[in-house]
Chains A and B, each alone.
Chain A
Amino acid sequence: MVQARELSVPRRRAARTGARRRYAPRWRVLAVFLLPALLLYSVFIVYPLVSALDYSFFEWRGIRQTGFAGLGNYRDLLSVYPYDQQLWRAFGHNALFFGGTMLIQNTVGLLFALLLFRYGRGKRFLQAAFTTPYLVDPLVVGYLWSLLLNPTFGPVNALLDAVGLDSWALPWLGDTRTALPIVILVNAWQWVGFPMLMFSAALAGIPAEYHEAARVDGASAWQAFRRVTLPLLTPAIGVVSVLTFIGNFNAFGLVYAMAGSSGSPAGSTDVLGLLFYRVGFVEGGVEAIGRSSALAVLMFVFIFGVSLLATSYFRRRERRLV
Chain B
Amino acid sequence: MTSARRAPGRVAVHLLLWGYAVVALLPLVVMLLNSLRPTGEIFTAPLRLPTSPTLHSYLKVWTDASFSTYFLNSLIVTGGAVLIGTAVSALAAYPLARHDFFGSRFLGAYFLAGLMLPIRLGLVPIFYLMDSMGLIDSLLGLTLLYAASGVPFCVFVLSAFYRSLPGELDEAARLDGAGEFRIFGQIMLPLVRPALASVTLFQFVPLWHEFLYPLVLLRSDEKFTIPRGLSQFFGEYTTDWSALFAGLVLATAPLFVLFVLATKQIIAGLTAGMSK
Contact = CB atoms under 8 A, between A and B. Distances in A.
Establish whether A and B are touching in the complex (CB under 8 Å).
Answer: yes
A30 B125 CA distance: 30
A277 to B, nearest CB: 7
Instruction: Classify chain A's interface size.
Output: 35 or more
Interface in B103-122: 107, 109-118, 120-122
Contacts of A34: 91-92, 95-96, 107
B122 A41 contact: no
Contacts of B88: 36-37, 40
Taking chain B's interface residues, is the majority helix, strand, or loop, or is none over half, making it mixed? Answer: helix
Contacts of B87: 36
A37 B151 contact: yes
Given A30-B101, A49-B117, A204-B270, A115 B16 contact: yes
B117 A300 contact: yes
Given A201-B194, A201-B270, A37 B155 contact: yes
Contact of B25 (A33, A49, A132, A318): A132
Contacts of B164: 202, 205, 235
A239 B154 CA distance: 12
B265 to A, nearest CB: 11
B148 A44 contact: yes
Given A23-B174, A304-B113, A52 B121 contact: yes
Contacts of B170: 18, 23
B189 to A, nearest CB: 12
B121 A293 contact: yes
A238 B13 contact: no
Interface stretch (A85-93, A144-152, A258-266): A144-152
B65 interface: no
Contact of A246 (B23, B115, B121, B255): B115
B124 A63 contact: yes
Nearest to B256: A135
A214 B195 CA distance: 27
Contacts of A15: 167
Contacts of A140: 31, 248, 252
B27 interface: yes
Contacts of A236: 160
A41 B152 contact: yes
Nearest to B109: A308
A147 B126 CA distance: 36
A22 B98 contact: yes
A276 B144 contact: no
A36 B90 CA distance: 11
B30 A147 contact: yes
A133 interface: yes
Nearest to B31: A144
Interface string B143-158: 0110111011101110
Nearest to B276: A207
A208 B260 contact: no
B225 interface: no
Contacts of B227: 137
A239 to B, nearest CB: 5
B12 to A, nearest CB: 10
Given A45-B114, A112-B17, A17 B122 contact: no
Contacts of A43: 129, 148
B31 A239 contact: no
B57 interface: no
A113 to B, nearest CB: 10
Instruction: Count chain B CB atoms within 10 A of each CB in A45, A124, A236 and give the residue with the most.
Output: A45
Contacts of B120: 252, 276-277, 280-281
A248 to B, nearest CB: 12
Contacts of A225: none
Interface in A271-288: 273, 276-277, 280-281
Contact of B47 (A145, A155, A273, A281): A155
B237 interface: no
B263 A124 contact: yes
Contacts of B222: none
B171 A132 contact: no
A168 interface: no
Contact of B101 (A24, A46, A119): A24
B249 to A, nearest CB: 10
Contacts of A125: 21
Contact of B205 (A49, A134, A304): A134
B267 interface: yes
14 contacts: A18-B169, A18-B170, A23-B171, A24-B99, A40-B144, A44-B144, A52-B124, A126-B17, A127-B267, A130-B24, A140-B31, A144-B28, A204-B271, A277-B120
Interface of A: 11, 14-15, 17-25, 29-30, 32-34, 36-38, 40-41, 43-49, 51-52, 55, 63, 112, 115-116, 119, 122, 124-138, 140-141, 144-145, 147-148, 153, 155, 189, 194, 197-198, 200-202, 204-205, 207-208, 220-221, 235-236, 238-239, 242-243, 246, 250, 252, 273, 276-277, 280-281, 289, 292-293, 296, 299-300, 303-304, 307-308, 311, 318
Given A46-B113, A119-B13, A145-B27, 5 more contacts: A23-B99, A37-B111, A40-B85, A129-B21, A311-B112
